[in-house]
Amino acid sequence: MLDDVTTDKPVLTLKDLSIEFPTPAGVVQAVKALSLDIHKGRRVGFIGESGSGKTTTALAVMQMLAEPGRVSGGTIDLGGTNIIELSEEEMRQARLSRVAYIPQGAMNSLNPVMRVEPQMWDGIIAHEGHLERGELKRRSDAALASVGLPLHTADLYPHELSGGMKQRVCIAMGIILNPELIIADEPTSALDVVTQRQVMQTLKAIQTDIGSGLMLIGHDMGLMAQTVDELAVLKDGELVEHGTVQQILQAPAHSYTKDLISSVPLVGGESFLNPDARAEAPKRASSEPLLRFENVRKDYGSVTALHPMSFTLHGDTPQIISIVGQSGSGKSTMGSIMLGFNPPSEGRVLFEGQDVTGMNAAQSLDFRKNVQAVFQDPYACFNPFYRVNHALKFPYKQFGLATSEAATQRAMEEACEAVGLDPDLVLQRYPHQLSGGQRQRLIVARALMLSPKLLIADEPVSMVDASLRASILSNIYDLKDKYGISILYITHDLATAYHVSDYVMVLFKGHVVEAGPPKEVIGAPQHPYTKLLIDSIPWPDLERSWGDGRTDWDPTKLEAEAARAEAVYRGAVPGFDLTKETPHG
């Protein structure tokens, strides 16, 4: 199937690997007769949607399958060793020294009460016994330097690191003993595009230096195209296609592979939306603008997270206003201020003429009904002890909208159907029985039931599969047109912002640096920072040099250049007015 792979002995051979999970309802076949080789120095991407068996396969290689999961057939050969036959102690010795696992959530993988350096030393001591402190420091410093982190990182606690720095620390810990195989499980899924590019360049460079094989797990076809040598496409536990990345992208054979490739939204590419005639905005008693920022500023101690900003969203025509930028740019701070969760340090936020921070109880209740949020994490938004119907019904009753049980049931069913869910399938389930995509849609459905005037969507699709992103965003876009709801879409995904937005604001260190219609701002950026963001998007284009670690791509230098540049205001749209910021350079 592969034309030009090396003939060296593979570092990993999976032969007819089958994994099953016995459940009260029967045995679930999570992986079915999977056969694959990973050779020294090769990078193999395992791609597929949630539930396809990618992480399950990786955990089986690490012998870390959660109960009651078990390998029901086949072999896992790690450089000549059948790891299924190893004792628990022998497998412990193999982990980190022969096969390393870089987890998906770096923020949850580091000990919060230990500095970075002793956490790195733990792995060395566990495998090689106690060494001289100077030797331990030399090796941990070398590992940090190899992933591009300053040496003082060793003395910091995890909470003092950015998301990208935490992920690089996890990479440094994974390669500290020069393993034969590195398994990286969605190592950049929660990172912005600039940090994602830096982390992937780091991972590729260190893997090349030590000559190990790499198993990269993900669901982003653009990222895979820029990173791996081979692609293994999994669907429902089966390997449906395997080949070089060129073969897969240029001539995909399986319909599922074609769907994965086409699900990647491209700047300037074909739209995944169905724009129909626009709805009128809901009739409002107030003649005041729907939302107004008046010189809003937010400080955290000596750090200004959001510099003075003024804009007016009139609300007479439903709009989607996108706020884009890296982590730390001030996007989520803006969102929390709009929702009244976080009072501004200076200035006022007015909803239909009323100061959000000065409302009485009745006004606050009305504000909470009319301004709804769709949060980033679909797993943290539902109480795990209650069924879905309770989660939808509770706010509906709290806001006095329930006239009868039958009317409430009808409202729940209509809201589920509006976001593409079958109410008969989801309403009686508990949150843990639903996929991430289903939960994310239910968050939208819960908000929709209250007939809000404004929806604040904070990274609503960052944690779901690429194919589901388009579907959920299409749902949100359709809701704007069907119900006339204005939406503030907070994201670091510029490709989706390009397609769904009426107007885009690019934030950089709390400043608006470029703003205007998406086809101008994202389609033809002028500000250096916007150009940096666009250049950092991993598209499934093999001609790009996104992940090759080229020396002319220096984000620190580019950000310094962006900080000196003046803001660029491209054009206006009816119903939204942004006040130009005083130059900050």
Q: How do residues 433-488 score in pLDDT, each as one tens digit?
A: 887 778 888 988 898 888 889 999 988 877 677 767 777 788 778 778 777 889 99
Q: At what angle do helices 555-564 and 528-535 cross, to 10 degrees?
A: 150
10 Å CB burial of residue 395 (0-12, 13-18, 19+) is middle
What would you report as the CA-atom Rg of the chain, rounded to the nearest whole angstrom? 25
pLDDT at residue 566, rounded to an integer: 92
Count of CA atoms in the C-beta half-sphere (13 A) of 346: 10
DSSP string across 195-206? HHHHHHHHHHHH
Average pLDDT over residues 255-273: 79
Which carries the bigger pLDDT value, residue 346 or residue 202?
Answer: 346
- Read off the pLDDT band of 549 (50, 70, 90): low
Residues β-bridged to residue 300: 303
pLDDT at residue 471, rounded to an integer: 76
Chain centroid to CA 268: 22
Q: Over the stretch 49-80, which tens digit does the pLDDT of each residue have?
A: 877 899 899 999 999 998 888 999 999 999 99
Q: How far apart are CA 456 and CA 488, in angstroms?
A: 5
Q: Which of 48-57, 327-336, 477-486, 519-528 shows the lowest per-residue confidence on average (mean pLDDT)?
A: 477-486
pLDDT at residue 480, rounded to an integer: 80
pLDDT at residue 6, rounded to an integer: 47
Q: How far apart are CA 482 and CA 223, in angstroms?
A: 34
- Read off the pLDDT band of 326 (50, 70, 90): confident
pLDDT at residue 463, rounded to an integer: 66
**274: pLDDT strictly greater than 80:** no
* Positive or negative: CA dihedral 332, 338, 342, 347: positive
Percent of the chain with pLDDT over 70: 93
- CA nearest neighbour of 520 among 581, 571, 574, 576: 571
For 421-495, list the strands marked E by DSSP. 454-458, 486-491
Considering the chain, what is the average pLDDT of its residues?
87
Average pLDDT over residues 525-551: 80
Count of CA atoms in the C-beta half-sphere (13 A) of 112: 3
Average pLDDT over residues 505-516: 94
pLDDT at residue 283, rounded to an integer: 67
Tokens 């109960």 found at = 67
pLDDT at residue 1, rounded to an integer: 47
Average pLDDT over residues 407-427: 89
pTM for the whole structure: 0.82
CA distances from 205 to 41, 66, 99 (A): 11, 32, 18
Complete domains list, the chain, with CATH: 12-262 (3.40.50.300), 291-385+454-539+548-578 (3.40.50.300)
CA distances from 203 to 170, 207, 554 (A): 10, 6, 16
pLDDT at residue 4, rounded to an integer: 46
- Read off the pLDDT band of 327 (50, 70, 90): confident
Q: Over the stretch 563-572, which tens digit does the pLDDT of each residue have?
A: 899 999 998 8
**330: pLDDT strictly greater than 80:** yes
10 Å CB burial of residue 235 (0-12, 13-18, 19+) is buried
**83: pLDDT strictly greater than 90:** yes
Average pLDDT over residues 169-181: 92
- Read off the pLDDT band of 101 (50, 70, 90): very high
10 Å CB burial of residue 154 (0-12, 13-18, 19+) is buried
Tokens 């006095």 found at = 400
**5: pLDDT strictly greater than 70:** no
Residues β-bridged to residue 27: 22
**Token code pair at residue 239:** 């390997």
**Token code pair at residue 574:** 């009816």
CA distances from 335 to 62, 269, 324 (A): 40, 28, 12
**509: pLDDT strictly greater than 60:** yes
- Read off the pLDDT band of 106 (50, 70, 90): low
Q: Which of 61-75, 249-263, 274-288, 513-527 shows the lowest per-residue confidence on average (mean pLDDT)?
A: 274-288
Q: How far apart are CA 146 and CA 142, in angstroms?
A: 6
Q: Over the stretch 126-145, which tens digit does the pLDDT of each residue have?
A: 999 888 999 999 999 999 98
Q: How far apart are CA 370 and CA 566, in angstroms?
A: 36
Q: How far apart are CA 435 and CA 431, in angstroms?
A: 8
Tokens 């009323």 found at = 354
Which carries the bigger pLDDT value, residue 459 or residue 224?
Answer: 224
Q: Over the stretch 109-118, which tens digit does the pLDDT of each residue have?
A: 899 999 999 9
